[in-house]
């Protein structure tokens, strides 16, 4: 019962403490792994995340590029209007036709249109077509300027004529003012210049149409392709590895596996403790079993010298019959005086065997306790001296400058602007959360465990007295049964006492005939005797000393009163009591008659183990 209680203390104390500290070990490992992963990730983000953000942010920069292209369109609109604009051509043709109608001349707009329609009828390339249109526009504009000059000239002659006519008399005006009506002079430039005065041939740089077509094509390509612009990048994906986990998954997996095993262990320990709680049933069962065997088996636990035993012996002594008290040495190993304070040899042997078993159990429990203490001290050492503060600093500066104010410079600037960055990292982090927090086994638990072992050892020491008490309890309730048992014990002991001498004679003679006595020679005694220089120290141990031939008691090291056989060649000894019991005769070397060998039943009947002792 107490051993079950100790086992419960060991389970609830050091074993559960071991599981808790083991969980701290796993938690520390998982936390440290996660901390290392976070530090590595921070460094990685410092190095590569800005570039990643810049690449993904280029999609937003397309708005700036669109604005830049819109400004390009605004810059090109005057050029487009200059070369392709039809509103000005329409106005110029109307003014030229108006002046031609006034003067009664042929419409110059039709002449110019016919001139360039013939050239455009040949399906010219786009750049030449732009150039022809621009020449047509320049020529029309030149004609318009000449027409405007002629018109102003006529207006001036008309104003001068009116002023002249108003200044003099009508006769003088007729004589003096008539030159003011010579308006044909206003066409002198056209007359002197001829029909090719406004011909732009040779006056416009060649290739202007090609340049304009290229510029317009570039504008259309930029504005058109920007709508379909997509950022394309390629990821170098490593070959997939089966069962690959990152640090976080590994930590979670380790904790999950440990918790599974710990839950299973805790469930097993709880089941075991519940089973130990039922151990008291064994006490009831043992008591009932002792009660039943006490009543059914007359030899069961029937080896006590009781007052009734002494009363029978005193009665026989008064009648002059053979008595048993005092007991022989061999009988003292079997029979127990129920009122003796000192335990018997048999009880001492039981106490020593149980003490050794208890020590082995204590060694097991102590091993578990020491493992728990070692684990706690290790984790406590890590907790006290394993604190580390990490100071992680870094900077990542990228500055791309585009020098220029043109459109291309703006485009490039809008593209590379996302790569301009100043990223700073300054982290102060420690592994304080990852340090183990071990739980120390309390001294109260240790005192309960070893205090209970001390109580068990005391109970083992008192076991001989409690077993006597066990018999006394049954004796109290079953008086007649106890008297019958004591009477049986006395008669059996008396019968064995009568056959004891004959038993020993036959036993020794049988061994002599079979030459088995030579096997009983003590090896340690032989070493001590043959090599006293090397093995003389063996005399301090019982194993090297001779034993009584009858009872097997070892010879004392000092003041020995054992009787050594004086027959030459016989090395056996007898203790004083056995020497008296064998009537001062050494059965090993004496020449005894063969008549005593007729009863093998008696030889085997006197066997110490056959006495009903449990």
Q: Which tens digits make up the pLDDT trace of 561-572?
A: 888 888 887 777
Q: Specify the higher pLDDT residue, 343 or 597.
A: 343
What's the chain's length in residues? 614
pLDDT at position 68 over 70 = no
Q: What is the mean pLDDT of residues 33-58?
A: 76
Half-sphere exposure for 151 (CA within 13 Å, toward CB): 14
pLDDT at position 396 over 80 = no
Residue written as token pair 């203390």:
9
Q: Which of 75-89, 425-439, 535-549, 595-609 has the highest mean pLDDT?
A: 425-439
Q: Bridge partners of 392? A: 427
- What is the Cα Rg of the chain in Å? 66
Q: What is the pLDDT of residue 606?
A: 36
> In the chain, count of helices (H) and strands (E)?
22, 6
The closest of 323, 305, 304, 321 to 313, measured between CA atoms, is: 323
Instruction: Tell me the three-class secondary structure of 109-167, residue by residue.
Output: HHHHHHHHHHHHCCCCCHHHHHHHHHHHHHHHHHHHHHHHHHHHHHHHHHHHHHHHHHH
State the virtual CA torsion across 219, 225, 226, 231 in degrees, nearest 10: -140
Q: What is the pLDDT of residue 360?
A: 92
Q: What is the mean pLDDT of residues 77-84?
A: 72
Task: Please list, in sequence order, all residues whose beta carbon lies within 8 angstroms of the beta carbon of residue 428, skipping any fewer than 6 positions away.
Answer: 389, 390, 391
User: What is the pTM (predicted TM-score) of this model?
Assistant: 0.56
Residues 138-191 pLDDT 10s: 777 777 777 777 777 777 777 777 777 777 766 666 666 766 666 666 665 555
What H or E segment, with its residue span, contains residue 395?
Answer: strand 389-398
Q: What is the pLDDT of residue 362?
A: 92
- The average confidence (pLDDT) of the chain is 75
Residues 185-226 pLDDT 10s: 666 555 555 556 676 666 676 777 777 777 777 767 666 655
**Is the Cβ–Cβ distance between 337 and 305 less than 8 Å?**
yes
Q: What is the mean pLDDT of residues 356-370?
A: 92
Q: What is the pLDDT of residue 610?
A: 32
pLDDT at position 612 over 70 = no
Q: What is the mean pLDDT of residues 71-94?
A: 70
Q: What is the mean pLDDT of residues 353-377?
A: 92
pLDDT at position 54 over 60 = yes
Residues 502-534 pLDDT 10s: 777 777 776 655 544 554 566 777 787 788 888
pLDDT at position 558 over 90 = no
∠ CA 292-293-298, rounded to 5°: 130
**Is the Cβ–Cβ distance between 589 and 567 less than 8 Å?**
yes
Q: What is the mean pLDDT of residues 232-244?
A: 56
The closest of 425, 417, 418 to 396, measured between CA atoms, is: 425
pLDDT at position 374 over 90 = yes
Per-residue pLDDT band at 117 (split at 50, 70, 90):
low
How far apart are the C-alpha atoms of 261 and 72, rounded to whole Å? 72
**Is the Cβ–Cβ distance between 449 and 76 less than 8 Å?**
no
The closest of 201, 230, 177 to 62, measured between CA atoms, is: 230
The closest of 321, 350, 351, 347 to 335, measured between CA atoms, is: 347
Summarize the chain as % helix, strand, coil (round to 5): 70, 5, 25
Give the chain's end-to-end CA distance (angstroms, integer): 20
Alpha helix ranges (H) inside 168-207: 170-176, 188-193
For residue 460, what are its two tokens?
A: 């083992």
Residues 261-303 pLDDT 10s: 777 777 877 787 777 677 778 878 888 998 899 899 998 888 8
CB-based burial label for 595 (10 Å; 0-12, 13-18, 19+): exposed
Q: Specify the higher pLDDT residue, 126 or 470.
A: 470
The phi and psi torsions of 565 (rounded to 5 degrees) equal -65, 130
Per-residue pLDDT band at 595 (split at 50, 70, 90):
very low
**How many CB atoms are closer than 10 A to CB 141?**
16
Q: What is the pLDDT of residue 353?
A: 92
∠ CA 236-240-246, rounded to 5°: 95
How far apart are the C-alpha atoms of 596 and 513, rounded to whole Å? 14
Task: Specify the 3-state DSSP secondary structure of 231.
Answer: coil
pLDDT at position 429 over 90 = no
Q: What is the pLDDT of residue 570?
A: 78
pLDDT at position 21 over 80 = yes
The closest of 426, 421, 417, 418 to 397, measured between CA atoms, is: 421
Q: What is the pLDDT of residue 386?
A: 84
pLDDT at position 56 over 70 = no
How far apart are the C-alpha atoms of 304 and 486, rounded to whole Å? 8
Between 312-326, 394-408, 432-446, the lowest mean confidence (pLDDT) is in 394-408
The closest of 160, 448, 501 to 330, measured between CA atoms, is: 501
Query: What secondary structure letter does DSSP report for 406?
Result: S
**Is the Cβ–Cβ distance between 212 and 83 less than 8 Å?**
yes
**Is the Cβ–Cβ distance between 336 and 303 less than 8 Å?**
yes
């Amino acid at each position: 019962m107490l051993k079950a209680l100790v086992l419960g203390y060991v389970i609830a104390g050091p074993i559960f403490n071991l599981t808790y500290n083991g969980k701290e070990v796993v938690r520390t490992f998982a936390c440290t792994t996660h901390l290392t992963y976070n530090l590595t990730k921070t460094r990685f983000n410092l190095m590569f995340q800005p570039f990643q953000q810049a690449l993904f942010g280029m999609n937003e920069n397309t708005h700036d590029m669109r604005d830049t292209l819109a400004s390009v369109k605004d810059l090109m609109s005057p050029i487009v209007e200059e070369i392709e604009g039809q509103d000005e051509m329409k106005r110029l043709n109307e003014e030229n036709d108006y002046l031609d109608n006034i003067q009664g001349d042929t419409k110059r707009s039709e002449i110019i249109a016919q001139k360039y329609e013939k050239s455009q009828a040949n399906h010219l390339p786009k750049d030449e077509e732009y150039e022809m249109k621009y020449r047509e526009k320049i020529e029309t504009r030149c004609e318009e300027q000449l027409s405007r000059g002629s018109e102003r000239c006529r207006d001036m002659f008309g104003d001068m004529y009116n002023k002249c006519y108003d200044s003099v008399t009508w006769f003088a005006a007729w004589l003096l003012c008539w030159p003011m009506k010579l308006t044909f002079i206003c066409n002198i430039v056209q007359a002197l210049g001829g029909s090719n005065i406004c011909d732009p041939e040779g006056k416009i740089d060649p290739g202007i149409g090609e340049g304009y077509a290229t510029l317009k094509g570039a504008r259309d390509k930029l504005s058109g392709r920007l709508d379909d612009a997509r950022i394309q990048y390629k990821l170098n994906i490593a070959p997939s590895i089966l069962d690959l986990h990152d640090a976080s998954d590994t930590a979670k997996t380790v904790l999950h596996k440990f918790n599974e095993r710990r839950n299973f262990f805790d469930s097993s320990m709880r089941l075991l403790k519940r089973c130990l709680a039922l151990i008291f049933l064994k006490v009831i069962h043992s008591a009932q079993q002792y009660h039943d065997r006490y009543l059914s088996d007359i030899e069961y636990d029937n080896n006590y010298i009781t007052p009734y035993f002494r009363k029978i012996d005193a009665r026989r002594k008064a009648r002059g019959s053979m008595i048993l008290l005092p007991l022989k040495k061999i009988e003292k190993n079997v029979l127990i005086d129920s009122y003796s304070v000192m335990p018997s040899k048999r009880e001492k042997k039981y106490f020593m065997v149980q003490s050794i078993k208890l020590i082995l159990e204590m060694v097991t429990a102590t091993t578990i306790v020491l493992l728990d203490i070692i684990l706690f001290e290790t984790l406590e050492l890590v907790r006290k001296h394993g604190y580390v503060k990490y100071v992680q600093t870094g900077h990542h500066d990228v500055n791309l400058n585009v020098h220029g104010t043109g459109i291309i410079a703006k485009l490039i600037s809008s593209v590379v602007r996302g790569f301009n960055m100043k990223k700073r990292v300054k982290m102060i982090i420690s592994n304080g959360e990852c340090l183990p927090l071990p739980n120390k086994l309390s001294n109260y638990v240790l005192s309960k465990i070893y205090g209970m072992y001390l109580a068990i050892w005391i109970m083992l020491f008192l076991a001989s007295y409690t077993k006597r008490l066990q018999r006394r309890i049954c004796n109290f309730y079953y008086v007649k049964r106890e008297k019958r048992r004591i009477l049986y014990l006395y008669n059996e002991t008396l019968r064995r006492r009568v056959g004891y001498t004959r038993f020993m004679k036959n036993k020794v003679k049988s061994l002599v005939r079979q030459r088995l006595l030579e096997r009983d020679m003590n090896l340690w005694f032989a070493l001590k005797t043959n090599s006293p220089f090397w093995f003389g120290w063996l005399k301090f141990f019982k194993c090297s000393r001779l034993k009584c031939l009858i009872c097997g008691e070892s010879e004392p090291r000092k003041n020995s009163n054992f009787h050594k056989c004086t027959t030459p060649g016989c090395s056996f000894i007898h203790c004083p009591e056995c020497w008296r019991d064998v009537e001062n005769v050494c059965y090993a070397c004496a020449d005894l008659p063969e008549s005593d060998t007729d009863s093998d039943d008696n030889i085997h009947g006197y066997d110490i183990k056959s006495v009903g002792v449990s």
